Amino acid sequence: MDGVIFKQKRNPDTGRFEWCAENEDTTDFCQDLARAAYADMLHDEERNKLYFQALKNVIQRQKSLKNDPVHVVDIGTGTGLLSMMAAVSGADKITAIEAFEPVAIIARKIIQLNGFADKVNVISRRSTDIYSDEIAERGDIAVAEVFDTELIGENALKTFSDAQKELLKPGAKIIPCKAKFFAQPVSSDHVLNWHVAKSISLPSYNVRLCVPPNLQNCPGLDTVHDIQLSQFRNFRPILEPIEVFQFDFEKAIAFDEHKTFLLNLPGENLTGGGKLDAIFTWWELDMDGTGNLILSTKPDWSDSKNVRWRDHWIQSIYFLPESVDLTPNSNLYLNASHDEYSFWFSASNVEMKKQKQPYKRPLCTCSLHKILTRTNIARFNDSQRYERFCKIAQKIVKDKSCVAFGDCTLLPLLALQMGAKEVYLIEAEDETQKFLKSYADFNSLGTKLHMVHGMAELPETAKFGVVLADPFFASSLLPWHNLHIWRLIDDLKQFGMLTDDCQVIPNKAEICAIPVEFEHLWKIRAPVGKVEGFDLKPFDDVIQAAIKNECDQIELQPLWEYPSTALSESRVLMTFDLNGPSLHQNVHSSTEFAFHRAAKCNGIAMWMNFYFDDQLLETTGPVSSTVTGQNPKWTVTAKQSVHFPKFPLKTASNLKVDCHFDHKDEAFFKFSIF
């Protein structure tokens, strides 16, 4: 077994952890690198040019002040791009530091290929683990790209602080020099769909499910929700953006800060009052300290003329512990905090001295924010999904014994309100059971809802007339992994727990697809080639090989954030009869897409539809019919699967897709393009 290592992986279909043998030489270090989408950063022309110009400016400035050799320390060198920029800009010596050994190997190859091996020394260590006595001499300049969407989430503050102590000379220059963090208070019910549980009111079906008090009073978590805010328009700005924090990386940095801003609310935008629901944030970098080279992550609706697309740095939404009622021409107190890695906010219309713990970090007390992601909370709040379910279930569940499954599902409670005799819910997690029990008890349904951890706990004599299969599991990595409901339906049949006339909701599923031309998203998987004149072929070789070795070459993306153009009508790739016997069979199908316009197909988007007979129960794809030549309108309550072809496909001829689905061990789906 030499050269083989064992890794524990979760099977998304069974939900169990299993040990898998992998070749030690081809283990997924490179796959991890490919999934990290470093290519998107290297495709960011504005970022590359600003770093290059800042290095030129600062190195020339240093040389004009004193005629000594200039030593540049490149922290987190990655491909070695910034080190090579420093060499071209006049640096006499460069120390490139990279913590991840496989990346350091790539950097050495790229630096050698471009002819800078004599100037650049690559050290494979964390910069915070290197001390002054371990390097030949301290640096005159540090350059680093150690930022994330939250600015400081990748340890930027400690990185620069430690560099000043251990790696740099007194008075050394840092690129970028400074950063500003901006906040914009907004009002938006749509934003709250990602954060708070909402009551379900469907009078046509005699359904009203109220939110228990423990959920209503929960402050949530301080975890950031990072999205492409340029694609989000369902909000009302309360005030203009505010600079809440500034960081000077060349000086001592405070790891913990708390500030309160007294803001006067205008009258013109708050006619009739309103609510403060969330804080939108972004940041900007002053690259060389002059204020002339500014890199900003602001959304395009804030300044449509000077915004560049990028996906490695986007924008963030911070949710408040509670929404604040606003009155025109009154005061608002905005509390902003950060520690070494993250930010959080609160707000009040009560003056500071009367607030209780204004800087306290939010902590979830209701479990919802621990159980579900932000996207899944939006699904949890999707009233249209519940209305479709009630339309189907109202004629089926009355006076029936039901069995249900699906993570954190409210379908059993809706069925009980529509007259179901009782519902047995299979829910393995104790925390989720406790959460759902609070819902059931508060809505006087607790005596009819019976929760068990698995099928073995169901009554031996049970006979269920209805199966409520909510197609969502937290362990699902791709949309078709939610076909785990099919396995559970089959298990119930095998155990003889279903009546002869049992109705299964849903009873049909589809995998659908559409070829698209992404405006920008293709960049995260596209070869880089040359950047600012530097050849990065060794990086491309590793990334493309890793992508090729991925078993499915399919990944999950929230496509509503990424504009694209539909190049054909959508097609059903596969249909599954969830009442049928084909669970353990291999399924093959072939589909053809007809292109109607000249374009480059750089992505194929896929999703799941679930039906009861011919009535749509749920989709993880477009919320309306797709139109060739237009941007599909994707749901925000689920992510979609995307395949990026190795090369953009010309649309001069039709596109043929061959699909293979194997549900024997796990929901394995693969397709090939011809």
Pick the catalytic residue from 22, 46, 154, 519. 154
Q: Render pLDDT for 537-591 as a digit per residue (tens, 0 to 9).
A: 999 998 877 766 654 578 899 999 999 999 999 999 999 999 987 666 688 899 9
Q: Render pLDDT for 168-183 as a digit per residue (tens, 0 to 9).
A: 999 999 999 999 999 9
367 Rama class: left (phi>0) / alpha (psi -120 to 50) / beta: left
Distance, CA of 377 to CA of 225 (rounded, Å): 12
Distance, CA of 234 to CA of 239 (rounded, Å): 16
**Exposed (0-12), middle (13-18) or buried (19+): which is 329, by Cβ within 10 Å?**
exposed
Tell me if residue 18 is catalytic: no
Reported confidence tier of residue 252, pLDDT bands at 50, 70, 90? confident
Which CATH code fits 39-175? 3.40.50.150
Reported confidence tier of residue 411, pLDDT bands at 50, 70, 90? very high
Distance, CA of 657 to CA of 673 (rounded, Å): 5
Domain 374-486 matching CATH 3.40.50.150: the answer reads yes
CATH number among 2.70.160.11, 3.40.50.720, 3.30.390.50, 3.40.50.300, domain 508-673: 2.70.160.11
Whether 653 has a pLDDT exceeding 50, the answer reads yes
- Average pLDDT for 26-39: 60
Return the pLDDT at 228. Answer: 97
Whether 26 has a pLDDT exceeding 50, the answer reads no
Q: Render pLDDT for 209-243 as a digit per residue (tens, 0 to 9).
A: 999 998 999 999 999 999 999 999 999 999 999 99
Whether 15 has a pLDDT exceeding 60, the answer reads no
Domain 179-366 matching CATH 2.70.160.11: the answer reads yes
How far is it between the farthest Cα atoms of the chain?
A: 91
Return the pLDDT at 662. Answer: 82
Return the pLDDT at 20. Answer: 44
Q: What are phi and psi of 121, to 5 degrees?
A: -110, 120
DSSP strand pairing (139-144 vs 71-75)? parallel
- Average pLDDT for 653-673: 79
For residues 277 and 320, the answer to whether their CB atoms sit within 8 Å is yes
Instruction: Tell me the residue ranges of DSSP E strands in 98-162.
Output: 120-123, 139-144
Whether 7 has a pLDDT exceeding 90, the answer reads no
Assign 6 to helix, strand or coil.
strand
Instruction: Tell me the residue ranges of DSSP E strands in 190-349.
Output: 200-202, 207-209, 225-227, 236-237, 242-248, 257-264, 274-286, 294-296, 315-326, 331-338, 343-348
Return the pLDDT at 32. Answer: 62
- Average pLDDT for 399-427: 98
| CATH topology identical between 179-366 and 374-486 | no
Return the pLDDT at 1. Answer: 41
Residue 214's identity, in one-letter code, is N
C-alpha dist (Å) from residue 468 to 146, 348, 412, 616: 47, 43, 7, 15
Distance, CA of 288 to CA of 291 (rounded, Å): 7
Return the pLDDT at 94. Answer: 97
Q: Cα 645–650–654 angle (5° rounding)?
A: 95
Whether 10 has a pLDDT exceeding 70, the answer reads no
Average pLDDT of the chain, as a whole number: 90
Whether 2 has a pLDDT exceeding 50, the answer reads no
Q: Residue written as tokens 């929760």? A: 451
Beta bridge partners of 459: none
The rounded radius of gyration (Å) of the Cα atoms in the chain is 28
510 Cβ neighbours under 8 A, 6+ residues apart: 572, 573, 574, 575, 576, 608, 609, 610, 611
Q: Render pLDDT for 494-538 as a digit per residue (tens, 0 to 9).
A: 999 999 999 999 999 999 999 999 999 999 888 999 999 999 999
For residues 509 and 483, the answer to whether their CB atoms sit within 8 Å is yes
Return the pLDDT at 34. Answer: 60
Residue spans of the domains in the chain: they are 4-35, 39-175, 179-366, 374-486, 508-673
Tell me if residue 22 is catalytic: no
Q: Render pLDDT for 130-180 as a digit per residue (tens, 0 to 9).
A: 876 677 799 999 999 999 999 999 999 999 999 999 999 999 999 999 999
